[in-house]
Amino acid sequence: MAVFALMLQLPVLSMTFRLTYRRYRLAFRAPLRTAAGLWREREGLILRVEDAAGRIGWGDAAPVPAFGLETIDQVAVACAALGETPDEGVIDRLGPGLASLRQALAAAQSDLAGAPPLPAGRFLPVAALIPAGRAALPAIVPFAEAGFRTFKWKVGVGDLGDELGLLDDLCGALPSGGRLRLDANGAWDRRAAERWLERCADRPIEFLEQPVARDARGADDLLQGLGADYPTPIALDESLVDAGDLDHWLDRDWPGIYIFKPALCADPVLALARLAAAQADVVFSSAIETAVGARSALRLAFGWTGPARALGFGVWPAFALPGFDGPAAAPFIRAEDVERMNPEAVWTALN
C-alpha cells in the first residue's frame, strides 16, 4: 500500500510539498499591556513543509488579535483547507487577508528554495524595551551598562503631564550617544501630539511612533502634517498593518519611518523591495513571534541594505515555557544567532 501510494505521487512530487502544522497557545511570562488591554498569550500555527528531496521549511502564522485582522481560528481553518500536499502556487489560492498565513507559507517555501546563509560576523543593533511610566527610569541603567544605546519607551499610557515631566529625567539617564524612541500607540489627539513634538525637538529622541490612531478623523493628513512641522521623525506602525497600507503611504511619499513587522506582512519580500525602491527609512520590528517566526523575520532584517536602525526585536524571553523564544534581548543580534535558531526544536516541543 505504501509503495503504491508513493508511485501514485511520483509524477507530481516536484510540484508539491507535504504540509503539516501544529497549533500553539503559549502564555507570556508576564501579560503585555496594549491599547486593546492586557495580552496574556500568543496563539499561532507552526508550519512544516517538506519537499520530495527531503528539504524542510518552516513558517510561523500568528496574527495579532489587537489589530482586528484575521483571527487564529480563521488561520487554522484556511491552513486545514490547503490539504496535506499543496503545490507551489498554494498562496495564490488563499482567500483574502490571512497575511500571517501567507508570510508563513512564503517563509517555508523560501527554506525549500535554499536561502543562502547570512554573512558571518554581521550584527545589527537592538533597541531595549523599557517599561512605561516612572519605572522606565531605573530600568535604563542596567540596559545601558549591558551596552544598549537605543531605548524604546511607551507613552500615552499615563497622564500626559506626568509623562512629559519624566522625559527630561529619562534623557538625562541616557548613556553617551543614547537615544529614546517613543511609541504612543495612537493614544493622542493633535494637541497632545504637538505638545510632545515641541518638547522632543531639541532632545535625543530618535523618533515618535504612531502619535495618533490610524482611524482617527483625518489621521493620514494629520500624521503627514506633524511629520512636516517638527524635526523629530514620525514612525508609522498601526497605520501599516492592513493590506494596501504600505502602498498607500509609499504613494504619499511618506517622509518618516516605516515600522515593518515581517510576521504580519503577507508578502514581506515584495514589501521590502518596494520600500527599498523608495529608499524608505525602515525599522524592523517583532510581533512577538516564536523562534520560528523570529528566524524568518530576522533573516529579512539582515537582508535589508538600507540604513540599519536598531531592531525592535528586544522582546525575548517572552514566553513562560522555555524553548520557544527568539534571541534573548541583547544590544546586538548577530547573524550567527539567527543561523543557530532551531525550528525543529520548537516543532518537537509542541508535540
Nearest to 87 by CA among 6, 8, 4, 13: 13
Contact between 289 and Mg ion per CB under 5 A: no
> For the chain, where are the E strands, in sequence order?
18-34, 37-50, 56-61, 123-125, 128-130, 150-154, 179-183, 205-209, 234-236, 257-260, 281-284, 332-334
Catalytic residue list contains 152: no
Q: Which member of 181, 261, 295, 309 is catalytic?
A: 261
Nearest residue (beta carbon) to Mg ion: 237
By beta-carbon proximity to Mg ion, the closer residue of 63 and 343 is 63
Classified as helix, coil or strand, 104 is helix
The one-letter amino acid at 168: D
Contact between 237 and Mg ion per CB under 5 A: yes
* DSSP 8-class letter at 263: G
Greatest CA span in the chain, whole angstroms? 74
Q: Which residue do the cell numbers 501544529 mark?
A: 22
Quick one: angle between helices 160-173 and 136-146, nearest 10? Answer: 30
| Minimum distance, C-beta of residue 105 to Mg ion, in the bound complex (Å) | 26
Phi, psi for 197 (deg, rounded to 5): -65, -35
Return the bridge partners of 126, or none: 311
Size of the site for Mg ion (CB under 5 A): 3
Beta carbons within 10 angstroms of residue 164's beta carbon: 16
116-155 footprint of Mg ion as x/- string (CB under 5 A): ----------------------------------------
By beta-carbon proximity to Mg ion, the closer residue of 108 and 271 is 271
| Minimum distance, C-beta of residue 34 to Mg ion, in the bound complex (Å) | 10
Scanning 103-111, 138-146, 182-190, 193-201 for contacts with Mg ion by CB under 5 A, the matching segment is 182-190
| Minimum distance, C-beta of residue 351 to Mg ion, in the bound complex (Å) | 34
- CA dist 38 and 6 (Å) reads 49
Scanning 47-55, 120-128, 186-194, 234-242 for contacts with Mg ion by CB under 5 A, the matching segment is 234-242
By beta-carbon proximity to Mg ion, the closer residue of 24 and 258 is 258
Q: Which member of 154, 179, 181, 214 is catalytic?
A: 154
| Minimum distance, C-beta of residue 157 to Mg ion, in the bound complex (Å) | 13
Q: Taking CB under 5 A as the criterion, which residues in 183-202 touch Mg ion?
A: 183
Contact between 206 and Mg ion per CB under 5 A: no
| Chain centroid offset of residue 293 CA | 9
Task: Say how many CA atoms lie within 13 Å of 2 toward its Cβ.
Answer: 0
Scanning 154-162, 231-239, 296-304, 316-324 for contacts with Mg ion by CB under 5 A, the matching segment is 231-239
Binding site for Mg ion (CB under 5 A): 183, 209, 237
Catalytic residue set: 154, 261
